[in-house]
Every structure is written in C-alpha cells, then in structure tokens.
C-alpha cells in the first residue's frame, strides 16, 4: 500500500464527463489499496474568466477580494469530484484551503505556503478509508483568516506541499501530456519523453520556458524530496495497472535515482524576451547599481546580464534581458535614470528569443557549449548574448531562428528519436 497525491489540472476537470474520468483514475488507485489525496484545479478557462470579471468590476482592485473571487473555481471542482466519487461508491470529502488548513503568507494573489496540517487527512485515511479532495491554488492567511491564492498555476505547488505534509510516496501530476519531453514536441516532432529527470534539471527546464509545471512546485519538491510523476489523465483509467511502479510518464526525482545520466537532458526556449543594450556607460564603480537598482525597485525581473571590460578604461556597453511584458516599463526606467547612469544611447529589441541547453552532465563534461556555437554558426545563426551556470547555458538569438536553433541543438546532443 502506498500513499498518493493525485493532482488534476484544468483540462482534466474541464466538464462533468472529464470529472467522471478523473474519478475513475482515483477509484483505480483506491481499489488497489492506496491512500489518496486528490488536488484539483479549476475547470479549464474558469480562472481566466474569474480574473477577467475582477478586472471588469474595477481595473485596480483589492487583491484580497481578487483572491475571494478566483479561489471559487477550485471550490466547484473539488465539490463536484467528491460528489462523483461518492456516486461510484468511493468515500470522499472535499476540503478547501482554509478548512485543512493550508496556511500561507499574506501576499494576496501570490501567497507562499507556510504550513499545512495533514493530520486530519491521515486520520481519515486510516479510520474511514476516505479520499480527500483538496482545492489547489488556495490557502489562508492565519492572522487575518482570509482566503489567499498562490499565483497562476499554483495548484501544482498545492499538490507538492500536500504530498510533503502527508508524507506521500509520490505526487502524480495528471495533465494533458504524458510527461516531460526533451523539448517542445510541437517544435521538434522527434522530441522524446524522458523516463526520469532530476529536480535541478526540471527546475531549469521550467524556469527557462517549459510550461509543464509551476516553477515553485519544483523548488518545493526538491527541498522536501517529493517524487513527482507527470502523466496524462487522457490515458484510459481502466488500461492502467496501479501496481506497476512506473506507468507511462516522467518521474522527477533526486539525481541519485537516475542511473544513466546523459550530458544534455533537454532544451528549453522562450520567445517572451526583450533585450536592452545601454551604449557607452562609464566604466566605474556604482554604474551597475544605478541601472539595476531602479529596475528592482520597479519589480522588473532582469534575466541575462552581459557587460564587457572597456578597452580604454572609460566606457563600455551593457546588455540585459527582461520579460517582453516588462519591456516598455524597463525602457522607461532606464530613460528616466539616464542622468544618474550617464550613458550615450539605448539599442533595444523585442524580437529576441532565449534558447537554453540543460543537463547535470555538464558539470563533468567540457566543450558542451563550444559544440553548440559551432553547430549554430553552420546554420548562420548569430548569438547576441550568452550566460552559463553549472548545469545549463542560455543563448540569446533573433526570434526568427528559434525553431531552427532548437532543432539543431536537439539533434546535436543526440536527443532525437
């Protein structure tokens, strides 16, 4: 017998028929003797609709009331799933964040989980063989008693946090794809589903553009060593043998569980990037602070930063990237700080993309990036900026070449089927 968390995203609970399908997945695991806590998202599209209603009511609104509104999507699906399970003869009870409770910080609309009490759920597993159906995405701030939400995509984080709280053997993330791929299969049809990927690699994949799971959920899984299994809810519930250790899907786990580690595991990319180059900034102490201080104060997340050493000891160029959505604001901030920074002019582009190559094996292999530079040059793809870390490197290129670059690197590192 194991203890499982089963998390179902919006497309898995899109309507009553899909909720019935989810209930059959749950029943299969219960019938196999497992203790199960289910975490659900809102029906697909529901949260967007609720967010839109808040904006229509007032473009600037109190985040506490936003949370009161958007948390309702998950309340509906949790209740419906509990009803459906009961109808199939499975004991089930729904739980909202505040009922468990799931305590969070006070940062409405992007709260962080602080503490979860799993005791009641465990007691009910033992005494009543009862399935817990928990709303994803929401929690409660202890001191004020108000409902909070965890930020978009936050039900992944709810699921991992609950898995840690009840000491689950595994956290299954059911979604509309059957696992994590070496890159986006829509761009590279020869992309492969990975059997396993290490927490650190998955964290990079998710941070750098792969949209499978919320980044914070993977951080949390890594900290608490929660094994996460990404799988499809579209696989027929009846076709799956619950006793198999690993049905189709991708296991996200500690690197020590992965026997045959490849040098490169995956390639991520993001087109939502913008580049700002500041020309002829003085090469002296305090200039970087004058640039990035105001950006930070305006809550603009800077990603790549490239600065060269000046030739004449006087001025140099500095390039950085920001999310495309923040480009106009970032540009504004730099223009307003022109006197404090003391630069000549700005060169900017929003038609850029970031392509990242990820793999723990890079720690012990030299020349991984060098081969990418060669392969891209053979395709006449120019590299605007480069950043590296222990287990990844990222290249900034013209957005028009994104697909070609991803495909080229995917076959270079032997990831094609």
Nearest Cα to Cα of residue 360 among 260, 282, 280, 269: 260
Question: How near is the Cβ of 40 to Mg ion at its closest, in Å?
Answer: 11
**CB-nearer residue toward ligand ASP: 73 or 209:** 73
Radius of gyration from C-alpha coordinates of the chain: 24
Quickly count: other Cβ atoms within 10 Å of residue 296's Cβ. Answer: 13
Q: What is the DSSP string of 289-312?
A: HHHHHHHHHTT-----EEEPPPSS
**Is residue 359 a contact residue for Mg ion (CB under 5 A)?**
no
**Is residue 136 a contact residue for ligand ASP (CB under 6 A)?**
yes
**Is residue 136 a contact residue for Mg ion (CB under 5 A)?**
no
Question: How near is the Cβ of 216 to ligand ASP at its closest, in Å?
Answer: 11
Q: Is the dihedral of CA 288, 292, 294, 297 positive or negative?
A: negative
Q: Which residue has the tokens 């002019």?
A: 345
How far is residue 36's CA from residue 85's CA, in Å, rounded to a whole number? 12
State which of positions 316-345 bind ligand ASP (CB under 6 A): none
Q: Is the dihedral of CA 246, 251, 257, 259 positive or negative?
A: positive
**Is residue 73 a contact residue for ligand ASP (CB under 6 A)?**
yes
Left, alpha or beta for 374 (phi > 0: left; psi -120 to 50: alpha)? alpha
Question: How near is the Cβ of 203 to Mg ion at its closest, in Å?
Answer: 16
Question: How near is the Cβ of 323 to ligand ASP at its closest, in Å?
Answer: 18
Q: Which of 42, 180, 203, 251 binds ligand ASP (CB under 6 A)?
A: 42
**Is residue 137 a contact residue for ligand ASP (CB under 6 A)?**
yes
**Is residue 12 a contact residue for ligand ASP (CB under 6 A)?**
no
**Is residue 154 a contact residue for ligand ASP (CB under 6 A)?**
yes
Residue 139 touches which member of Mg ion, ligand ASP, none, C-beta under 5-8 Å by kind: none
Give phi and psi for 29, each to the nearest 5.
Answer: -70, -35
**Is residue 249 a contact residue for Mg ion (CB under 5 A)?**
no
DSSP 8-state symbol, 365: -
Which residues, other chains included, contact 399 with Cβ-Cβ below 8 Å and sequence gap of 6+? 271, 351, 352, 353
The contact pattern for Mg ion, residues 81-110, with x = CB under 5 A and - = no contact, is ------------------------------
Residue 273 pairs with which residues in a beta bridge? 323, 352
How far is residue 73's CA from residue 155's CA, in Å, rounded to a whole number? 12
Which residues, other chains included, contact 411 with Cβ-Cβ below 8 Å and sequence gap of 6+? 190
Residue 109 token pair: 């609309």
The contact pattern for Mg ion, residues 146-165, with x = CB under 5 A and - = no contact, is -------x------------
Q: How many CA atoms lie within 13 A of 380 on its CB side?
A: 1
**Candidate segments 154-162, 199-207, 267-275, 333-341, binder of ligand ASP by CB under 6 A:** 154-162
**Is residue 41 a contact residue for ligand ASP (CB under 6 A)?**
yes
Site size for ligand ASP, by CB under 6 A? Answer: 13
How far is residue 210's CA from residue 204's CA, in Å, rounded to a whole number? 9
**Is residue 153 a contact residue for ligand ASP (CB under 6 A)?**
yes
**Is residue 266 a contact residue for ligand ASP (CB under 6 A)?**
no
**Is residue 73 a contact residue for Mg ion (CB under 5 A)?**
no
The contact pattern for Mg ion, residues 256-285, with x = CB under 5 A and - = no contact, is ------------------------------
**Is residue 233 a contact residue for ligand ASP (CB under 6 A)?**
no
**CB-nearer residue toward Mg ion: 97 or 153:** 153
Binding site for ligand ASP (CB under 6 A): 9-10, 41-42, 47, 73, 136-137, 152-156
């Amino acid at each position: 017998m194991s203890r499982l968390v089963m998390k179902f995203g919006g497309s898995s609970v899109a309507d009553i028929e899909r909720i019935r399908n989810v209930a059959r997945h749950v029943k299969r695991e219960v019938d196999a003797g497992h203790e199960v806590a289910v975490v659900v998202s809102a029906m697909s599209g529901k949260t967007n609709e609720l967010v839109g209603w808040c904006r229509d009511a007032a473009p600037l609104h109190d985040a506490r009331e936003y949370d009161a509104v958007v948390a309702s999507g998950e309340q509906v699906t949790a209740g419906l799933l509990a009803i459906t399970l009961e109808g199939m003869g499975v004991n089930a009870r729904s739980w909202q964040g505040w009922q468990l409770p799931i305590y969070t910080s006070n940062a409405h609309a992007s709260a962080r989980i602080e503490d979860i009490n799993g005791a009641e759920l465990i007691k009910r597993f033992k005494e009543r063989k009862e399935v817990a159906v928990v709303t994803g995405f929401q929690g409660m701030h202890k001191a004020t008693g108000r409902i909070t939400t965890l930020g978009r995509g936050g039900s992944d984080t709810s699921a991992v946090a609950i898995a840690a709280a009840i000491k689950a053997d595994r956290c299954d993330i059911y979604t509309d794809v059957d696992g994590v791929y070496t890159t986006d299969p829509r761009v590279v049809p020869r992309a492969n589903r990975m059997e396993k990927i290490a927490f650190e690699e998955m964290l990079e994949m998710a941070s750098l553009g792969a949209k499978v799971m919320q980044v914070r959920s993977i951080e949390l899984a890594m900290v608490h060593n929660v094994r996460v299994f990404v799988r499809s809810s579209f696989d027929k519930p009846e076709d799956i043998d619950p006793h198999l250790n690993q049905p189709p899907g991708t296991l996200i786990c500690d690197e020590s569980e992965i026997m045959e580690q490849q040098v490169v595991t995956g390639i991520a990319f993001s087109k939502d990037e913008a580049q700002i180059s500041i020309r002829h900034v003085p090469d002296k102490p305090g200039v970087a602070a004058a640039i990035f201080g105001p950006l930070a104060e305006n809550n603009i997340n800077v990603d790549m930063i490239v600065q060269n050493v000046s030739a004449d000891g006087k001025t140099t160029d500095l390039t950085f990237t920001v999310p495309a959505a923040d480009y106009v604001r970032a540009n504004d901030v730099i223009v307003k700080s022109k006197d404090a920074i003391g630069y000549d002019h700005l060169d900017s582009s929003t038609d850029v993309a970031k392509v990242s190559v990820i793999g723990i094996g890079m720690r012990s292999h030299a020349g991984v990036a060098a081969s990418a530079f060669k392969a891209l040059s053979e395709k006449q793809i120019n590299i605007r900026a480069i950043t590296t870390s222990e287990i990844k490197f990222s290249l900034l290129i013209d957005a028009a070449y994104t697909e070609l670059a991803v495909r080229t690197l995917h076959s270079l590192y032997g990831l094609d089927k």
